[in-house]
Amino acid sequence: MKESIILAVDGGATKTTLTIRSIQGNCIFEKTTSGCNYQTIGVDAATELLSHLLHSAYLSTKLETIHAAVFAMAGIDTKSDLQTVTHIIKQSLQGTPFHIEELVIENDVQAALVGLVENQPGALLISGTGSIIFGTDGKGYIVRAGGWGHRASDEGSGYWIGRQILKAVFRAEEGLEKPTILKKLVFEKLQIHSIDQLVTWLYQVDYTNAQTASIASVLKEAVSLGDKKAIHISEIAAEELFLLVKAMLTKLHYEDKGFTLYLNGGILKHDLFIQGRLRQLIHQTYPQITISLCEDPPVEDIVRRAKYALKNVALSKKKPPLH
Protein backbone atom coordinates (compact mmCIF):
# COMPACT_ATOMS: atom_id res chain seq x y z
CA MET A 1 0.00 0.00 0.00
CA LYS A 2 1.34 3.40 -0.99
CA GLU A 3 2.11 5.93 1.71
CA SER A 4 -0.51 8.66 2.14
CA ILE A 5 0.38 12.11 0.84
CA ILE A 6 -0.75 15.39 2.38
CA LEU A 7 -0.66 18.94 1.05
CA ALA A 8 -0.71 21.92 3.39
CA VAL A 9 -1.01 25.59 2.49
CA ASP A 10 -0.39 28.31 5.04
CA GLY A 11 -1.92 31.25 3.21
CA GLY A 12 -1.17 34.26 5.36
CA ALA A 13 -1.44 37.97 4.78
CA THR A 14 2.34 38.39 4.52
CA LYS A 15 3.50 35.11 2.99
CA THR A 16 2.17 31.85 1.59
CA THR A 17 3.84 28.47 2.09
CA LEU A 18 2.85 25.28 0.29
CA THR A 19 4.31 21.98 1.36
CA ILE A 20 3.74 18.38 0.32
CA ARG A 21 4.66 15.68 2.84
CA SER A 22 4.36 11.98 3.25
CA ILE A 23 2.26 10.89 6.22
CA GLN A 24 5.53 9.90 7.89
CA GLY A 25 6.76 13.48 7.64
CA ASN A 26 9.13 13.34 4.66
CA CYS A 27 9.12 16.68 2.83
CA ILE A 28 8.55 16.13 -0.88
CA PHE A 29 8.07 19.76 -1.89
CA GLU A 30 8.00 23.16 -0.19
CA LYS A 31 7.91 26.70 -1.47
CA THR A 32 7.15 30.11 0.04
CA THR A 33 5.97 33.21 -1.77
CA SER A 34 4.11 36.43 -0.95
CA GLY A 35 0.78 36.71 0.89
CA CYS A 36 -2.45 35.50 -0.70
CA ASN A 37 -5.16 37.18 1.38
CA TYR A 38 -7.70 38.07 -1.29
CA GLN A 39 -8.96 40.95 0.84
CA THR A 40 -5.56 42.57 0.41
CA ILE A 41 -4.46 41.60 -3.10
CA GLY A 42 -7.77 40.80 -4.80
CA VAL A 43 -9.38 37.61 -6.10
CA ASP A 44 -7.50 37.48 -9.42
CA ALA A 45 -4.08 37.98 -7.85
CA ALA A 46 -4.80 35.39 -5.14
CA THR A 47 -5.93 32.88 -7.76
CA GLU A 48 -2.84 33.49 -9.88
CA LEU A 49 -0.51 33.15 -6.89
CA LEU A 50 -2.03 29.84 -5.74
CA SER A 51 -2.13 28.54 -9.32
CA HIS A 52 1.61 29.16 -9.71
CA LEU A 53 2.37 27.48 -6.39
CA LEU A 54 0.28 24.41 -7.19
CA HIS A 55 1.71 24.18 -10.70
CA SER A 56 5.25 24.35 -9.30
CA ALA A 57 4.38 21.62 -6.80
CA TYR A 58 3.07 19.32 -9.51
CA LEU A 59 6.01 19.91 -11.87
CA SER A 60 8.40 19.13 -9.02
CA THR A 61 6.64 16.03 -7.66
CA LYS A 62 4.59 14.65 -10.58
CA LEU A 63 2.15 13.41 -7.95
CA GLU A 64 -1.49 13.14 -8.88
CA THR A 65 -3.20 11.78 -5.78
CA ILE A 66 -3.26 13.88 -2.63
CA HIS A 67 -4.97 12.03 0.20
CA ALA A 68 -5.64 15.12 2.31
CA ALA A 69 -5.13 18.82 1.59
CA VAL A 70 -5.63 21.70 4.00
CA PHE A 71 -5.77 25.25 2.71
CA ALA A 72 -5.40 27.44 5.80
CA MET A 73 -6.19 30.89 4.50
CA ALA A 74 -6.16 34.38 5.95
CA GLY A 75 -9.24 36.41 5.07
CA ILE A 76 -11.88 33.79 5.88
CA ASP A 77 -13.95 35.74 8.37
CA THR A 78 -17.51 35.24 7.10
CA LYS A 79 -19.53 32.68 5.14
CA SER A 80 -19.16 34.95 2.12
CA ASP A 81 -15.36 34.92 2.55
CA LEU A 82 -15.39 31.13 2.72
CA GLN A 83 -17.34 30.95 -0.54
CA THR A 84 -14.93 33.36 -2.23
CA VAL A 85 -11.80 31.55 -1.02
CA THR A 86 -13.27 28.16 -1.93
CA HIS A 87 -13.84 29.45 -5.47
CA ILE A 88 -10.26 30.78 -5.61
CA ILE A 89 -8.83 27.43 -4.51
CA LYS A 90 -10.95 25.34 -6.85
CA GLN A 91 -10.05 27.62 -9.77
CA SER A 92 -6.37 27.28 -8.85
CA LEU A 93 -6.60 23.48 -8.62
CA GLN A 94 -8.11 23.22 -12.10
CA GLY A 95 -4.72 24.02 -13.58
CA THR A 96 -3.09 20.90 -12.11
CA PRO A 97 -3.76 17.15 -12.35
CA PHE A 98 -3.97 16.91 -8.55
CA HIS A 99 -6.80 14.68 -7.34
CA ILE A 100 -7.54 15.57 -3.72
CA GLU A 101 -9.48 12.97 -1.78
CA GLU A 102 -10.08 15.07 1.36
CA LEU A 103 -10.12 18.85 0.97
CA VAL A 104 -10.27 21.20 3.98
CA ILE A 105 -10.55 24.99 3.60
CA GLU A 106 -10.40 26.98 6.84
CA ASN A 107 -9.32 30.24 8.38
CA ASP A 108 -5.56 29.96 8.85
CA VAL A 109 -5.67 30.42 12.62
CA GLN A 110 -8.52 27.95 13.09
CA ALA A 111 -6.65 25.34 11.07
CA ALA A 112 -3.46 25.92 13.04
CA LEU A 113 -5.36 25.58 16.32
CA VAL A 114 -6.87 22.23 15.32
CA GLY A 115 -3.41 21.07 14.27
CA LEU A 116 -2.05 22.06 17.68
CA VAL A 117 -4.75 20.63 19.96
CA GLU A 118 -6.68 18.08 17.83
CA ASN A 119 -9.47 16.99 20.21
CA GLN A 120 -8.18 18.70 23.34
CA PRO A 121 -9.38 22.07 24.72
CA GLY A 122 -7.12 25.00 23.92
CA ALA A 123 -6.69 28.27 22.10
CA LEU A 124 -4.30 30.00 19.73
CA LEU A 125 -3.62 33.73 20.03
CA ILE A 126 -1.73 35.40 17.23
CA SER A 127 -0.33 38.91 17.13
CA GLY A 128 1.56 39.57 13.93
CA THR A 129 0.49 42.07 11.30
CA GLY A 130 -3.02 41.58 12.71
CA SER A 131 -4.37 40.00 15.89
CA ILE A 132 -6.87 37.18 16.40
CA ILE A 133 -7.67 34.29 18.71
CA PHE A 134 -9.46 30.98 18.17
CA GLY A 135 -10.45 28.63 20.98
CA THR A 136 -12.04 25.19 21.23
CA ASP A 137 -13.53 23.02 23.94
CA GLY A 138 -11.98 19.97 22.28
CA LYS A 139 -15.42 18.62 21.38
CA GLY A 140 -15.90 20.42 18.10
CA TYR A 141 -17.10 23.77 19.44
CA ILE A 142 -14.84 26.55 18.11
CA VAL A 143 -15.05 30.28 18.82
CA ARG A 144 -13.07 33.31 17.75
CA ALA A 145 -12.42 36.86 18.88
CA GLY A 146 -10.76 39.70 17.01
CA GLY A 147 -9.22 39.48 13.60
CA TRP A 148 -11.73 41.73 11.92
CA GLY A 149 -9.09 43.66 10.01
CA HIS A 150 -7.21 46.92 10.50
CA ARG A 151 -10.21 49.15 9.80
CA ALA A 152 -12.20 47.88 12.77
CA SER A 153 -10.02 45.61 14.87
CA ASP A 154 -6.50 44.14 15.19
CA GLU A 155 -5.78 45.79 18.56
CA GLY A 156 -2.43 44.77 20.01
CA SER A 157 -1.10 43.73 16.61
CA GLY A 158 1.97 44.90 14.74
CA TYR A 159 -0.19 47.17 12.60
CA TRP A 160 -1.92 48.64 15.67
CA ILE A 161 1.44 49.19 17.40
CA GLY A 162 2.88 50.78 14.26
CA ARG A 163 -0.02 53.22 14.16
CA GLN A 164 0.42 54.11 17.83
CA ILE A 165 4.11 54.77 17.19
CA LEU A 166 3.35 56.98 14.19
CA LYS A 167 0.72 58.92 16.16
CA ALA A 168 3.21 59.43 18.99
CA VAL A 169 5.86 60.74 16.59
CA PHE A 170 3.48 63.18 14.89
CA ARG A 171 1.91 64.36 18.17
CA ALA A 172 5.35 64.99 19.65
CA GLU A 173 6.25 66.92 16.51
CA GLU A 174 3.19 69.14 17.06
CA GLY A 175 4.09 69.66 20.70
CA LEU A 176 0.99 67.82 21.89
CA GLU A 177 3.03 65.16 23.69
CA LYS A 178 6.50 64.93 25.18
CA PRO A 179 9.40 64.03 22.85
CA THR A 180 9.98 60.29 22.42
CA ILE A 181 12.98 58.22 21.32
CA LEU A 182 10.54 56.49 18.96
CA LYS A 183 11.06 59.29 16.41
CA LYS A 184 14.82 58.67 16.22
CA LEU A 185 14.34 54.87 16.00
CA VAL A 186 11.69 55.12 13.27
CA PHE A 187 13.87 57.48 11.23
CA GLU A 188 16.82 55.07 11.56
CA LYS A 189 14.72 52.08 10.54
CA LEU A 190 13.27 53.81 7.49
CA GLN A 191 16.57 55.54 6.67
CA ILE A 192 14.92 58.96 6.56
CA HIS A 193 15.80 62.29 8.18
CA SER A 194 12.63 64.39 8.38
CA ILE A 195 8.90 64.35 9.11
CA ASP A 196 8.29 65.26 5.45
CA GLN A 197 10.05 62.06 4.39
CA LEU A 198 7.99 60.08 6.90
CA VAL A 199 4.78 61.46 5.39
CA THR A 200 6.01 60.56 1.89
CA TRP A 201 6.81 57.02 3.05
CA LEU A 202 3.44 56.65 4.76
CA TYR A 203 1.42 57.76 1.73
CA GLN A 204 3.39 56.07 -1.03
CA VAL A 205 1.34 54.53 -3.84
CA ASP A 206 2.22 50.91 -3.05
CA TYR A 207 1.64 51.24 0.71
CA THR A 208 0.54 48.12 2.60
CA ASN A 209 -0.51 47.45 6.18
CA ALA A 210 2.61 45.32 6.58
CA GLN A 211 4.75 48.46 6.18
CA THR A 212 3.12 50.14 9.16
CA ALA A 213 3.35 46.85 11.08
CA SER A 214 7.10 46.72 10.38
CA ILE A 215 7.59 49.87 12.47
CA ALA A 216 6.50 47.92 15.56
CA SER A 217 9.95 46.32 15.68
CA VAL A 218 11.45 49.53 17.16
CA LEU A 219 9.16 49.41 20.18
CA LYS A 220 11.15 46.92 22.24
CA GLU A 221 14.36 48.96 21.85
CA ALA A 222 12.56 52.10 22.95
CA VAL A 223 11.22 50.21 25.98
CA SER A 224 14.73 48.98 26.85
CA LEU A 225 15.86 52.62 26.79
CA GLY A 226 13.14 53.52 29.27
CA ASP A 227 10.99 55.59 26.91
CA LYS A 228 7.72 56.26 28.72
CA LYS A 229 5.60 56.47 25.58
CA ALA A 230 6.96 53.15 24.30
CA ILE A 231 6.28 51.50 27.65
CA HIS A 232 2.73 52.86 27.62
CA ILE A 233 2.08 51.56 24.09
CA SER A 234 3.46 48.14 25.08
CA GLU A 235 1.28 47.95 28.18
CA ILE A 236 -1.86 48.87 26.24
CA ALA A 237 -0.98 46.31 23.53
CA ALA A 238 -0.74 43.57 26.17
CA GLU A 239 -4.04 44.67 27.71
CA GLU A 240 -5.78 44.59 24.32
CA LEU A 241 -4.48 41.08 23.65
CA PHE A 242 -5.66 40.02 27.10
CA LEU A 243 -9.14 41.32 26.24
CA LEU A 244 -9.12 39.01 23.19
CA VAL A 245 -8.28 36.08 25.46
CA LYS A 246 -11.02 37.08 27.87
CA ALA A 247 -13.61 37.43 25.09
CA MET A 248 -12.70 34.02 23.69
CA LEU A 249 -12.95 32.32 27.10
CA THR A 250 -16.33 33.95 27.74
CA LYS A 251 -17.67 32.67 24.42
CA LEU A 252 -16.27 29.24 25.21
CA HIS A 253 -17.93 29.24 28.68
CA TYR A 254 -14.55 28.45 30.19
CA GLU A 255 -14.43 27.15 33.76
CA ASP A 256 -11.30 26.78 35.86
CA LYS A 257 -10.03 23.63 34.17
CA GLY A 258 -6.89 22.53 32.38
CA PHE A 259 -6.51 24.58 29.21
CA THR A 260 -3.54 25.47 27.00
CA LEU A 261 -3.20 28.86 25.35
CA TYR A 262 -0.70 28.91 22.49
CA LEU A 263 0.98 32.17 21.48
CA ASN A 264 2.30 32.93 18.01
CA GLY A 265 3.08 35.83 15.69
CA GLY A 266 5.97 38.25 15.52
CA ILE A 267 4.83 40.52 18.36
CA LEU A 268 4.30 37.73 20.87
CA LYS A 269 7.42 35.81 19.87
CA HIS A 270 9.88 38.71 19.70
CA ASP A 271 8.61 41.43 22.04
CA LEU A 272 9.33 39.96 25.46
CA PHE A 273 7.89 42.95 27.33
CA ILE A 274 4.45 42.56 25.73
CA GLN A 275 4.56 38.77 26.03
CA GLY A 276 5.57 38.99 29.69
CA ARG A 277 2.88 41.52 30.55
CA LEU A 278 0.26 39.40 28.78
CA ARG A 279 1.33 36.30 30.70
CA GLN A 280 1.04 38.27 33.94
CA LEU A 281 -2.49 39.45 33.13
CA ILE A 282 -3.63 35.95 32.20
CA HIS A 283 -2.13 34.27 35.26
CA GLN A 284 -3.71 36.84 37.57
CA THR A 285 -7.20 36.12 36.22
CA TYR A 286 -6.96 32.55 34.92
CA PRO A 287 -4.31 30.73 37.01
CA GLN A 288 -5.32 27.29 35.66
CA ILE A 289 -4.36 28.17 32.07
CA THR A 290 -1.06 26.87 30.71
CA ILE A 291 0.66 29.26 28.27
CA SER A 292 2.88 27.83 25.54
CA LEU A 293 4.89 29.75 22.95
CA CYS A 294 4.76 28.15 19.49
CA GLU A 295 8.24 27.21 18.31
CA ASP A 296 7.50 25.66 14.91
CA PRO A 297 6.69 27.67 11.77
CA PRO A 298 2.90 27.96 11.29
CA VAL A 299 2.95 25.63 8.29
CA GLU A 300 3.89 22.76 10.62
CA ASP A 301 0.60 23.26 12.47
CA ILE A 302 -1.21 23.09 9.13
CA VAL A 303 0.62 19.86 8.31
CA ARG A 304 -0.62 18.43 11.61
CA ARG A 305 -4.13 19.65 10.70
CA ALA A 306 -3.93 17.69 7.44
CA LYS A 307 -2.81 14.56 9.30
CA TYR A 308 -5.72 15.00 11.70
CA ALA A 309 -8.13 15.28 8.75
CA LEU A 310 -6.70 12.06 7.33
CA LYS A 311 -7.06 10.36 10.70
CA ASN A 312 -10.73 11.38 10.89
CA VAL A 313 -11.36 9.99 7.41
CA ALA A 314 -9.82 6.67 8.46
CA LEU A 315 -11.93 6.57 11.62
CA SER A 316 -15.14 7.31 9.72
CA LYS A 317 -14.42 4.44 7.34
CA LYS A 318 -14.10 2.07 10.30
CA LYS A 319 -17.48 2.98 11.74
CA PRO A 320 -20.23 0.43 10.99
CA PRO A 321 -22.92 1.64 8.56
CA LEU A 322 -26.20 2.89 10.01
CA HIS A 323 -29.24 0.68 9.45
Tell me how far the alpha carbon of residue 61 is from its chain's centroid. 28
pTM of the predicted model, to two decimals? Answer: 0.91
Rg (CA), the chain: 21
Tell me: pLDDT of 6 over 60: yes
Same fold, 5-101 and 158-293: yes
**What does the pLDDT read at residue 312?**
81
Query: Residue 227: helix, strand or coil by DSSP?
Result: coil
Residue in 208, 225, 213, 220 with CA at minimum distance from that of residue 166: 213
- CA gap 273, 270 in Å, rounded: 9
Tens-digit pLDDT profile for residues 243-275: 999 999 999 999 878 899 999 999 999 999 999
Dist. CA 151–CA 78, nearest whole Å: 16
Q: Is 60 exceeded by the pLDDT of residue 323?
A: no
- Across all residues in the chain, what is the average pLDDT? 93
Domain spans, the chain: 5-101, 158-293
Model confidence pLDDT, tens digit, residues 210-225: 899 999 999 999 999 9
Quick one: DSSP state of residue 14? S
Q: Could you tell me which residues come within 8 angstroms of residue 283 by beta carbon, excluding any fewer than 6 positions away?
A: 289, 291
pLDDT at 319 (0 to 100)? 58
Higher pLDDT, 320 or 166: 166
Q: Please compute the mean of the pLDDT values over residues 2-23 and round it to a whole number.
A: 93
pLDDT digits (tens, 9 = 90+) for 43-87: 999 999 999 999 999 999 999 999 999 999 998 989 999 999 999
In this predicted structure, the answer to whether residue 314 has a pLDDT above a threshold of 70 is no
Q: By three-state DSSP, how is residue 19 classified? A: strand
Region 9-23: mean pLDDT is 93
Q: Which long-range contacts (CB under 8 A, 24 or more apart) does 311-318 make?
A: 313/68, 313/101, 313/102
CB-neighbour burial class of residue 214 (10 A; exposed 0-12, middle 13-18, buried 19+): middle
The per-residue pLDDT for 208 is 81
- Segment 177-196, tens digit of pLDDT: 999 999 999 999 999 999 99
Q: pLDDT tens across 273-292, in order? A: 999 999 999 999 999 999 99
Task: Name the class of domain 158-293.
Answer: alpha beta
Q: CB-based contacts of 255: which residues, under 8 Å, 6+ apart?
A: none
Q: Which helix (H) or strand (E) holds 218?
A: none
Strand residues in 4-64 grouped as ranges (E):
5-11, 15-22, 27-34
Per-residue DSSP letter, 319: S
Considering the domain delimited by 5-101, tell me its CATH architecture.
2-Layer Sandwich (3.30)
Per-residue pLDDT of 112-161, as tens digits, reads: 999 999 989 999 999 998 899 999 999 889 999 998 877 888 999 999 99
Q: Does 315 have pLDDT greater than 70?
A: no
Residue 318 has pLDDT above 70, yes or no: no
pLDDT at position 171 over 90: yes
Q: How far is CA 251 from CA 144, 183, 320, in A?
A: 8, 40, 35
What is residue 321's predicted lDDT score, i.e. its pLDDT? Answer: 53
| Strand residues in 40-116 grouped as ranges (E) | 65-66, 68-73, 99-100, 103-107
pLDDT for position 207? 85
Backbone angles phi, psi at 4, to 5 degrees: -65, 145
